[in-house]
């Protein structure tokens, strides 16, 4: 019984991270106007590789991603996603990790889109990271 409580507490603590990852992935995936199959596949890879997200059913992360994609149709969708991202990256190292995830998402379809770069720079600013962090994130995911 206490193990179940511990798991639920951990899930509660990690929920902002889940939302931040889903929001960042949604922002990048929709930057060029469409969410490609390769971007959805990249989201699956992110879910499988992040220990913080293993606490959740993968469908829960995908559902959060889909909800964020839908919210981006609103006039204030981008600003709302940037707030979610900022709120979910308070842990040490989380901002840099999320920027690398964003860079990996942008490269999922094999194209280097200026629209995706622009949104990643906005994510970088929301995370209060220096502009040089964007290129460092791209370098990290390409090596």
| pLDDT tens readout for residues 60-90 | 999 999 999 999 988 899 999 999 999 999 8
Tell me how far CA of residue 91 lies from CA of 16, 58, 67, 96, 109, in angstroms: 10, 22, 24, 10, 29
What's the confidence (pLDDT) of residue 30? 94
The share of the chain scoring above pLDDT 70, in percent, equals 94
Given a contact cutoff of 8 angstroms between Cβ atoms, the answer to whether 21 and 117 are in contact is no
* CB contact set of 116 (below 8 Å; sequence gap of 6+): 28, 31, 32, 105, 106
d(CA 73, CA 125): 22
Element of type H or E holding 111? none
The share of the chain scoring above pLDDT 90, in percent, equals 66
What's the confidence (pLDDT) of residue 34? 86
Longest CA–CA span in the chain (Å) reads 51
Tell whether the model's pLDDT for residue 20 goes beyond 80.
Answer: yes
């Amino acid at each position: 019984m206490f193990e179940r409580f511990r798991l639920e507490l951990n899930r509660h603590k990690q929920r902002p991270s889940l939302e931040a990852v889903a929001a960042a992935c949604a922002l990048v995936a929709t930057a060029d106007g469409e969410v490609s199959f390769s971007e959805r596949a990249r989201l699956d890879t992110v879910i499988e590789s992040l220990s913080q997200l293993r606490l959740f059913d993968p469908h829960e992360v995908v559902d959060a991603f889909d909800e964020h994609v839908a919210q981006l149709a609103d006039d204030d969708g981008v600003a709302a996603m940037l707030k979610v991202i900022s709120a979910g990256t308070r842990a040490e190292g989380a901002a840099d990790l999320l920027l690398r995830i964003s860079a990996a998402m942008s490269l999922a379809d094999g194209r280097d889109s200026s629209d995706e770069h622009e949104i990643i720079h906005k994510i970088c600013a929301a995370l209060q990271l220096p502009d040089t962090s964007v290129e460092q994130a791209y370098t990290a995911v390409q090596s």
